[in-house]
Amino acid sequence: MDSPLFFERTIYWSEGDERAHFEWLDRIDAIKSVVGKGDRLYLEVDAAVFDASHLRELQAVYRRYGADLGQLDKLKVAVNAQD
């Protein structure tokens, strides 16, 4: 999987925490798929529908679960170009 968006070695503090992570990602309409491989959880984003509200949610889940926010830079540029 070559997605530039991923979570690596995410630490979950309970089964509910892990479930909440996946449910949160599932509620972001622009995320087409979430696939685990090894220590990574890869996200596939539909750039055609991705907007500022999706970016805010993705930034929040990245912060909560300790992912590298720099991964979202290209999406930020695309969202800013929509304005």
**pTM greater than the 0.85 cutoff:** yes
pLDDT confidence tier of residue 82, bands split at 50, 70 and 90: confident
Q: What is the mean pLDDT of residues 41-52?
A: 93
- Residue 47: the pLDDT is 87
75 residue type, one letter: L
Q: What is the mean pLDDT of residues 51-64?
A: 96
Q: Which residue has the higher pLDDT, 59 or 79?
A: 59
Give 46's contacts (C-beta < 8 A, 6+ positions apart): 30, 31, 32
- The residue ranges of every structural domain in the chain are 6-82
pLDDT for res 2: 55
C-alpha to C-alpha distance for 69 and 72, rounded to whole angstroms: 6
Asked whether residue 1 carries a pLDDT value surpassing 70, the answer given is no
Compute CA distances 44 → 13, 14, 15, 16, 26, whole Å.
25, 25, 24, 23, 11
